[in-house]
Structure 1
Amino acid sequence: MNVPLLFAQNRGLEKYDFDFDEVSWAEAITTLSEEHNLNFIYSDDNLPVVNRFSFKKKKATLDEVLTALFNGKFLGYRIDGSDVIVKVIRIPLDSKEGRRLTRYPVNGIIRDQYSRETVIGATIFFEDISIGTVTNVNGFYSISVPEGQYLVSIKSLGYVNIDTIIDVKGQMELNLNLKVKETKLREIVVLSSNSEVYDGILQLSNITTVTPEATNELPLILGEGDVMKSLQLMPGFKSANEGSSEISVRGGRTDQNLFLIDDVPIYNATHSLGFYSIFNTNSLKNVQTYKSGIPAQYGGRGSSVIDVHLKEGNNQKFKVSGGIGTMSANATLEGPIVKDKSSFIISGRRPYTDLLSSTTRGDINTVVFYDVSAKLKFQLNKKNALSVSSYFSRDKLAFQNISSSEWGNKTANVTWSALLSPKTYSNLTLWYTNYDVANIVNTIPETSYRTTYALDDYGLKYKVEQYFTPDMTLKAGVESMLHTYNQGSITPFDEESIVTPNDPQDIRAVESGVFTDFEWNINEKVKVGLGLRYSRFDNVRNEREYIYDIEPFQLRADSISDNNIVDTVRNSGISFDHSYHNIDPRVSISVALTPQQSVRIAYDRMTQYAQELALTTLPSNSGVWIPSNKYIKPLINNQYSIGYLLKSKDNMYDFSLDAYYKTSDDILEFKPNGRYVVTDHVETDVTSGIGQSYGVESIFRKRKGKLTGSVSYTYSFSFIKIPQINNGNWYPTDQDQRHVFNILASFQISKQIQFSAVWNYASGRPYTAPVGKYYKEGYVVPIYGDRNKARLPSTHHLDISLTFYRKMNEQKKNESSFNFSIYNVYARKNTYSYIFRSKRNNPEQLETVKVYLFSIIPSFSYNFKF
């Protein structure tokens, strides 16, 4: 077809020397743009992705080279000033040019060759046309390419790369199985979620991925590996206390982290004393965390997301794995129900000693926990799969006869995954979660008490992923959940206790959300992510409702007290009492400065409708979740962040530097001298304020070779301002830890022996110290000064580990390992907290008791696979 072309004389007749030799059309356009100040206006989908372009001529006009480039068969152009506008000429779709312009979907699922587990984050890359994609949480991928023959490369960490040639003539399904690498040279613990498509340089989210298999290669505490301890080695993730698996992210409280197990939220992610998280590494498939550039599909928390996926089970053969450590043992059994069609996995963990000697007095403390997880996976057909999973945990902790806690989690979920079309994938999840806790606080007999507390959630979430082109992806969905906050009961613990018994009513609310996430690779240098989440929180009217003698416009938690209650009314039936609506935008842009350098900027708005307040500063799980109502507003965080990433050409080294600034509205706190107990009218005991957090995070990593490791440093601030506390002045939060420094090194001595070491330094956390005392009925009672004005001493410790691997048969299918670790090699007695109380032999004197958890701890663990 002959196409008339219009040329602008002032540019089209300009002459230059051209030397194009087998370059892609995109490369030719880029060169012409940069060298001749031309602005090409076109769509990526219109350009041939396989053809190569050659044009060598001296003193040729722009018209000549453009005519050769856009040869008139299916593309035309016109010059308007410095703009070159490229347009498509209508051609028959069944012609050669038509087939070249038509893209066909190639999709499939990537699995582990041995277990048939789906592989998350595997890269599928079309070498000839330099485009690719990655698998989602179900191992599914979809990418559209023109007709042709291609070399396809499939890669995933820990697996042997696959290169295969495919011939695309139409819609195509390509399912592949990856073989596990037979090597012990592993990248330790925490990896950046880097996209192989652009050599890992364009990243929309500040996301890290934890590899569960590598956690046992780190120095262990009490013989147990833990993925949350691995995260604490990364900048921005701070331990809530020494030895604890709880984390604070960028100045946020621990309740601001959204923990998910197979899309089910968890309200307490730690075992006794926080030594271990509730995640048994043998049952984990993948753990991803977000602290900026958070996708809009996640909501309900203010700081971060920890998204955990359980293994699906081996659908080929039965397999047993487990471990025995210094304090606990674990075991996992998995195998096929029907080979290639369905599988199961069950994993459990339990300590075999219930006693832990105190390092402060020698009193006997009780430390007991156990957890069990199970999952079933059914491949119904090529397009549909069904999975059922459940998790159960229980803990009991008694500390120096001062406090005790017993708590547990229960979850259950059913997920239906469906391939709706070659480019459309969906997930429907129904779930249930429960958290309950019983506490005893006995610091002073007169005020000692026992509390119980529980909450139940029922939820539904539906998400659709649409893969338009290799460069455009849309994820959208809806979710809704019913919250039931059982405020439990309060009873006196000691005979001398003056605490009044109370049995508060249940509080119910419905939380719903609609979300959409759009990702667009504009070109090889720019990637954009746009997210939007609309959320709604509806309070169900309480059966017992309190009336306050205060003007409606003044109804805030910090403006009312018990004295304002003038009446109580009884309600019947179900109706909504109050609603909140919020829109949370999320924006992230990543720009490649060079093939090895990029800059990422992001904005995240996060709304949290329930906050947890601690009932005591002692190391126990004495917290209670308080939902928003007409008096208590939701927490809203706004975070602005910028990051820089530098990678070496061979991906051996990388360095990243991130800065952030976060503001918080309506952070909840107990009022000064509050009762620190739960009642029907909790709004009379709490107040709220504003906060701000900011800091700089950096990490340098060496990823390859016998010696691998990282050096990370975080410099940060976190402040809060509440009118009723510290005279309305700013004061540091409990998470205000200025300096955190981590060094990790791992050396592969041989294929069977690996040595690891971790050194951690953290400046002291703030606490509230007494400034005086008074006497009451023979006891001395401390008078506390300004909130968090004092600082605990800095903490630091060195941990080392030596791991021995061996194969248990000649076929090398079974493996075992022995790990020897020493926690706190130089026996540093880091301060956990202070207790201020009357002396036992002289009640009229106030004593300060330093609490530290442990000094040096050697440990041993044996892990096996059959």
Structure 2
Amino acid sequence: MQLTFKMEFNMLDEVEIIGNKEEQVHLKSEMSTIDISMEKVKTLPVLLGEKDIMKTIQLMPGVQTGSEGTSGLYVRGGGPDQNLILLDGVPVYNASHLFGFFSVFNADAINSVKLIKGGFPARYGGRLSSVIDIKMKEGNMKEFHGEGSVGLISSKLTLEGPIKKDKTSFLISGRRTYIDLLARPVIRAAGEGLVAGYYFYDLNAKVNHKFSDKDRLYVSAYQGDDKAYSNYEDTWTNNGQTTTDRTSAQLKWGNTITAIRWNHMVSNKIFMNTTLRYSKYRFLVGADDEVITTAGGTSTTDAFSYAYISGIEDWSGKVDFDWVPNPNHFVRFGAGDIYHTYTPGVQQYQITESNASAIDTTFGANKQFAHELFAYVEDELKIGEKFKGNIGLHFSGFIVGNKNYWSLQPRISGRYLLNGNSSVKASYASMTQFMHLLTNAGIGLPTDLWLPATERVKPQLAHQWAAGYAKTIKGKYELSLEGYYKIMDNLIEYKDGASFFSTDQDWQDKIESGRGWSYGGELLLEKKLGKTTGWIGYTLSWTNRQFENLNFGEVFPYRYDRRHDLGVAVTHEFNDKVSVGMVWVYGTGNAVTLGLERYQPASISQFDWYSEVEHIEGRNNYRMPAYHRLDLSVNLKKDRKWGQRTWSFGVYNVYSRQNPFYLEFGYDNSGNRKLFQYSLFPIIPSFSYSFKF
């Protein structure tokens, strides 16, 4: 008897999944890829009780964070700009709130998260180090549901349900902090006429419409902003003259994202997605001062206004096809175009004086425009019972000014089964990135300058090789061991002494170009079934940089080079009502540049007797103390007639470790030179109340 199987596409009605069984790690053809469970995200303890996808990703091997209180992920030695963060397929350029303490992703609105650190499929392009593919919930087509929470610093609410049953659904989710509202009485008491505060918010929305069994339309949107502000007004009278002085300052940054996707089944073997995308990131810091003087019934006004603006805006379209010619091949191919508008950094001054004409001046680089074209093809193939792999090619081009760049990027990965529960894997990926990021982390602001490759500044390039071993143990433990080697070219850094806010030269004159490389090993041991679940992730790595005109051309460790990085996450369910969570992290201290010695130069005048010069051996020549922290949480659930409520209690940094944020030399009370350490967070308790209906 002979059986023949045929694979076909069929558009199915939405089904609610009560439980699912993931493909075991040794069977997966993907390498360096981790699927993040949303249930784990919501159970683990976090800072101030705010459940956060990015904080969970930071616990994975190969992923490192900056200092506490800074934004950005550093994956396998790469920079924060080298991560392609996608929300429903749209790039997110700044994924942080509150200077990096929280991410822009509201966990209640998210359906799935996938992290890819290597062996990149050809359908992804434009970054060197990682892909974080985040999908929003699509909205329930059958029933109305909601969930929300009230915490120490923020509240959020998510609603979803059918607009027309089995035809059209919606999802809407909002989150806002109320730090500014809680602090307002204190600020007013501190100074009459002063109004100041800080807040952030997120809005997610999605509509899902089913035209027929072959056609669906999805419309997704996200809007989020951070805003810090200060307004002050003072009035006084002197010698019959009344003066009113109004000053204001603001710091604002945020993202706007929109995607329209048409899902079409061409035939029972071909599936098509056509997507229009929009993404915008903006950053603004500004100050205004207005002085109104009134004397003898006549008023005069003098005013000064300053603003620094930067950002990036994308309009794009793409078409993707999935084709299954037979059970041994799954082919994906597609093409698209992205139109970039870069605002590298503009400073605007406006001066108005009562007895002179107004002065309106703009400094800084002009806007730059570029087209990024791309096309790809990849085949997920099976050869026999033991081999499964993915082979593909990504083509991209970048047109900016009078310069064109073209790039072919081969990708290949494969898995070979050793037996019924273990396999070996290997991969190679060539990556090209046509944009750069300049950031001054030292000033503590989200000062991200997104910049294009130009005639003078080449695109970033990377080649990554990886090999690994995967094993499933007793059906409930999964072990993954991987080693990798990555080289990177055309990386950029500020020149020594270059200033973020300086306007006397073009950004291209402020930078140096160089290379980098990273290599190491990663271990992930995960328990996926039972009352106690969790994982241990460990990374041993080396990351270096080299620039011809920095550090005398010598190799130096990258700021976020960490020899050892360990993350442990455990959750335990006592019963349906009570669960606990624990996170412990340890990392080698970051590398920083410090003048460990000082000397007094040969004096040429009496004023030089008290001057000293720092002697710096090299860039990033000193290691901060190690970072480690323990977090704990308890979740108490109870079913109600209307749904379910949960009280969550947590403690961040249980043993109040004073982790280093900033180091500087100073003098103690005895006049001896001493290295002082500044830290951010001691032990912080938190609680939140959440509900579902």
The TM-score, its normalising length taken from structure 1, stands at: 0.68
Following TM superposition, by how much is the alpha carbon of 1:104 offset from its aligned partner in structure 2, in angstroms? 3.8
More off after superposition, 591-600 vs 778-787 = 778-787
Q: Which residue of 1 aligns with 2:269?
A: 423
Higher mean alpha-carbon deviation, 699-708 vs 420-429, is at: 699-708
Kindly report which structure 2 residues correspond to 1:444-523, keeping only aligned pairs within 5 A, or say none: 451-490=308-347, 502-523=363-384
Q: CA deviation at 1:110?
A: 5.8
Q: Which residue number corresponds to residue 562 of structure 2?
A: 737
Aligned-partner residue type, residue 383 of structure 1? K
Write the distance in 2 (CA, Å) between the matches of 1:383 and 1:617. 53
State the match for 2:104 in structure 1: 278
Cα pair 2:176 2:201 within 8 Å, conserved: yes
Contact 2:348–2:363 (CA under 8 A) maintained in structure 1: yes
1:195 aligns to what?
A: 23
Q: CA deviation at 1:317?
A: 2.5
1:508-550 per-residue CA deviation (whole Å, 9 max, x = no partner) reads 111110111111111221112101011100003xxxxxxxxxx
Is 1:706 equivalent to 2:527 in the alignment? Answer: no
SS in 1 for 2:99: helix
- Report the CA distance between 1:774 and its aligned residue: 9.8
Secondary structure in structure 2 of the residue aligned to 1:617? helix
Distance 2:342 2:609 in 1: 39
| Kept after mapping to 2: 8 A contact 1:782/1:836 | no
The alignment status of 1:671 with 2:495, answered yes or no, reads: yes
2:61 matches 1:159: no
Show the counterpart of 1:346.
172
2:358 is aligned to: none
Q: Which runs of 5+ in 2 are unaligned?
A: 185-189, 231-248, 288-305, 352-360, 602-606
Q: Which is further off, 676-685 or 517-526?
A: 676-685
**Is 1:393 equivalent to 2:224 in the alignment?**
yes
In 2 relative to 1, CA 731–669 (structure 1 residues): closer, same or farther, beyond 3 Å?
same
Q: Which amino acid aligns with 1:718?
A: T
State the match for 2:36 in structure 1.
210
1:587 to 412, 416, 419: 412
Q: Secondary structure at the match of 2:104?
A: coil
Deviation at 1:397, TM superposition (A): 5.0
Which structure dedicates a bigger proportion of its chain to strand? Answer: 2
The 2-side partners of 1:588 and 1:822 are apart by 42
Q: Is the 8 A contact 1:423 1:466 kept in 2?
A: yes
SS at match of 2:443: coil
Aligned partners of 1:202 and 1:526 also within 8 Å: no
- Kindly indicate whether the alpha-carbon contact (under 8 Å) linking 2:518 and 2:541 is maintained by their aligned counterparts in 1: yes
Give the one of 340, 360, 379 matched to 2:210: 379
How far apart in 1 are the matches of 2:456 and 2:619? Answer: 24
Q: Which amino acid aligns with 2:175?
A: R
Written as runs of structure 1 = structure 2, the 5 A alignment for 1:305-704 is 305-354=131-180, 367-396=198-227, 405-439=251-285, 451-490=308-347, 502-540=363-401, 577-649=402-474, 651-677=475-501, 681-704=506-529
When residues 537 and 835 of structure 1 are mapped into structure 2, their CA distance, relative to the original with a 3 A threshold, is: farther
Q: Name the counterpart of 1:830.
A: 659
Q: Are the structure 2 counterparts of residues 777 and 488 from structure 1 closer, same or farther at C-alpha, using a change threshold of 3 Å?
A: farther
Question: In terms of mean alpha carbon deviation, does 784-793 or 723-732 score higher?
Answer: 784-793
In the alignment, structure 1 residue 821 sits paired with structure 2 residue 645: no
Q: Distance in 2 between matches of 1:110 and 1:778?
A: 82
- Cα shift at 1:719: 0.2
Aligned residues: 630
Query: Are residues 1:787 and 2:619 paired?
Result: yes
Distance, in Å, in 2 between the alignment partners of 1:483 and 1:468 is 36
Aligned to 1:632, the other structure's residue is in SS state coil
Q: In the alignment, is residue 862 of structure 1 matched against residue 689 of structure 2?
A: yes
Give the Cα–Cα distance (whole angstroms) in 1 for the partners of residues 348 and 532 of structure 2: 57
RMSD over equivalenced CA pairs, Å: 3.3
Per the alignment, residue 243 of structure 2 pairs with none
How far, CA to CA, are the matches of 1:778 and 1:329 in structure 2? Answer: 58
Structure 1 residues 821 and 774, CA, compared in 2 at 3 Å: closer, same or farther? farther
CA contact (8 A) 1:529 1:588 kept: yes
Q: 1:519 to 1:440 in 2, by over 3 A?
A: same
How many Å separate the matches in 1 of 2:637 and 2:565? 33
Q: Compared with structure 1, are the counterparts of its residues 356 and 853 closer, same or farther at alpha carbon in structure 2 (3 Å cutoff)?
A: farther
Structure 2 residue identity aligned to 1:406? K
Query: Pick from 89, 93, 105: which aligns with 1:263?
Result: 89
Change (3 A) 1:202 1:374: closer
Structure scoring higher RCO (CA < 8 A, sep ≥ 6) equals 2
SS in 2 for 1:727: helix
Mapping of 1:705-724 within 5 angstroms?
A: 705-724=530-549
Provide the residue aligned with 2:68 in structure 1.
242
Superposed displacement of residue 594, structure 1: 1.1
2:629 is matched with which residue: 781, 788, 797? 797
Return the alpha-carbon distance in structure 2 between the equivalents of residues 707 and 415 of structure 1: 40
Q: What is the distance in 1 between the residues matched to 2:70 and 2:480?
A: 26
CA distance change for structure 1 residues 807 and 583 in 2, over 3 Å: closer, same or farther? same
Provide Cα deviations, 1:330-364, integer angstroms capped at 9, x if missing partner. 1112221111100111111111113789xxxx999
Q: How far apart, in 2, do the equivalents of 1:299 and 1:264 lie?
A: 12
Mapped partners of 1:731, 1:475: distance in 2: 41
